Structure 1
Amino acid sequence: MIEPKAPHLSNIELWRKWKEQKDIEAKKQLIELYLPLVDYVTNRMAIGLPKNVSKDDLASNGAMGLIDAIEKFDYQRGLQFETYASWRIRGAMIDGLRQGDWVPRSVREKAKKIEEAYQQLEQQYLRSVTDAEISSYLNISERDFQTMVQEIAVTTVVSLEDPIREEESETRMSMLIDEKAKNPDQTVQQFFLKETLVKGIERLTEKERIVISLFYYEELSLSEIAEVMSLSPSRISQLHSKAILRLRGALDKQKNQLMQN
């Protein structure tokens, strides 16, 4: 993660001037201070996206997300702004992508079918299911399954910001980020969400866990991960996609259980 350019005390003073005195100059300085976050998230988001997606458009939407984050952030809660802002920036970029309708509906439908297959089979077997089992469930060949995974690879880049259900506005990431003080229901939701993610990650294959770890925790690009694992970038993309689809299925299941209780 990118470190702020100014010392911590200077940041606090800027936040105080902006939030308590509505000092526009302080707001401008905060925007300039954290603007490198937009470049950072832009470069991360651009990985795996089609070439017709402009990085300039991503950055433009991201800048709006940064401004939104600065306006809504409560510096007195002791949270790390960089983490909060990164999700706001990413969310703004994803909103822009959605408005551009960059993923064909047919591709989204394929992704949903595979996600549901993972959810159903892993709930049934209580373990990580194989490509052969998924292919059989979908009534397609393993080769066709691999092709489908490759086709939907770009959709998994923004997976956590997709609505949990098409008719709902709540996203998976909204379960992770709380703009207001936590209430008991939110605390319970976060507890079960974390537990679900832990169990979901445990059911990933070894290679899928490595890809997830290197991409989201070590923050390597897919091409860098390919070099580390001595695999092709397309293979890394497939592993990433399958891991995300498994986790999305697990999160959907948890959401259903929370709604029933």
Structure 2
Amino acid sequence: MSAKPTAKRASREYEKQQATGETGAAKTERGPLEDYLSLVKYIAGRLAIGLPRSVEIDDLINAGVVGLIEAYSNFNVEKGVKFETYASLRIRGSILDELRGMDWVPRSTRARSREIERAISRLEGELGRSPSETELAAGLGVELKDYYTMIDDVSSTSLLSLDDMTHGDDDDKQVPLVDTLKSPDPNTALTRLEAEEMRNLLADSLGQLTEQERLVVALYYYEELTLKEIGLVLELSESRVSQLHTKAVLSLRVKLRKRFMS
């Protein structure tokens, strides 16, 4: 693996571009590269939630800087996408690539995640709705306390986040599915029709979650509260909020996968 880039490298890249006298419309659509380092740290921090301590946040930040440099170098204002949107996708993608390259998730955990998703899918077909945790535990053939252990295992070591679920035909049009639930923006990568379709799909899927799961998703992704802060709002422990978040995302993945494959 090549040497990991750092913020200093990002600064050197910016100085190099300044020295070449970069001009034109693209430059007017973005600030200096250094202005976006806080965006890298923010995205790295969000993706780091629930990861084991063996994963260093600095490694994620360094990987994110690679994505930022690529975004800064390749940004084309003529595509009608805001630089912050384009950079966020590149940063996120670079960090996720780094995590996948680490291959730190045990096979048993990946298998457990798939097992839970299959149980959710089967029970939804039988019940016509999302299963409760008690029903899901029964469907998995385990006691409720063992189900919680399974969920804790998956939530602490896998990339379970709506931020990692994207939609679009190519790299420049890949946007987080969760973003399509927000107010439409004419500068986003999706067309109005595609955005409306995805908003309806996600809204329908979210509507099938339990009330607590919907609250956790709303507070985490739209209000951007931490799991600890959500716990204070809902008067739940941080670990309990993590369990609800994990089940919600697994359920949404099942629903969206079915819709995309239908």
Q: TM-score, normalised by structure 2?
A: 0.76
Match of 1:219 in 2: 224
Is residue 48–residue 157 contact of structure 1 (8 Å, CA) maintained in 2?
A: no
Residues 72 and 190 from structure 1, CA distance in 2 versus in 1: closer, same or farther, beyond 3 angstroms?
A: farther
How far off is 1:202 after superposition? 0.4
Tell me the residue number matched to 1:179: 172
What residue number does 2:206 align with? Answer: 201
Which of 118, 121, 140 is the aligned partner of 1:119?
121
List structure 1 segments (4+ residues) > 4 angstroms apart after TM superposition: 17-23, 26-29, 186-192
Match of 2:247 in 1: 242
Q: Displacement of 1:72 after TM fit?
A: 3.5
Give the match's secondary structure for 2:32. helix
- Specify the alignment match of 2:99 in structure 1: 97
Is the contact between residue 156 and residue 241 of structure 1 (CA under 8 Å) also seen in structure 2? Answer: no
Specify whether residues 229 and 193 from structure 1 end up closer, same or farther in structure 2 by C-alpha distance, changes over 3 A only.
Answer: same
Q: How many residues matched? A: 227
> Retained in 2: the 8 A contact 1:128–1:203?
yes
* CA gap 1:124/1:70 in 2 versus in 1, 3 angstroms: farther
Q: Is the 8 A contact 1:175 1:189 kept in 2?
A: no
The 5 Å alignment of 1:1-261 reads: 18=22, 20=24, 30-154=32-156, 155-158=158-161, 161=164, 172-175=165-168, 179=172, 192-257=197-262
Q: Residues 63-87 of structure 1: CA distance to partner in whole angstroms, max 9, x if unpaired?
A: 0111222233332344332233222
- Any unmatched runs of 5+ in structure 1? 1-13, 162-171
**In the aligned structure 2, how far is the partner of 1:21 from the partner of 1:145?**
54
Q: Which runs of 5+ in 2 are unaligned?
A: 1-17, 175-190
How far apart, in 2, do the equivalents of 1:95 and 1:19 lie?
A: 31
* Counterpart Cα distance in 2 of 1:123 and 1:19: 57
- When residues 77 and 59 of structure 1 are mapped into structure 2, their CA distance, relative to the original with a 3 A threshold, is same
Do the aligned partners of residues 19 and 51 (structure 1) sit closer, same or farther apart at CA in structure 2, a change above 3 Å counting?
farther
Alpha-carbon shift at residue 237 of structure 1 (Å)? 0.4
Cα deviation for residue 209 of structure 1 reads 0.8
Deviations 1:3-52 (A, max 9, x none): xxxxxxxxxxx9xx7575999xx999632122211111122222211111
Distance 1:255 1:27, change over 3 A: closer
For residue 225 of structure 1, what is the amino acid of its counterpart? I
Q: Quick one: distance in 2 between partners of 1:126 and 1:85?
A: 40
Shift of 1:128: 2.2
TM-score of the superposed pair, with normalisation by structure 1: 0.76
Q: Could you tell me whether the CA contact under 8 Å between 1:94 and 1:158 is conserved in 2?
A: no
Q: In structure 2, what is the Cα distance between the partners aligned to 1:240 and 1:136?
A: 20
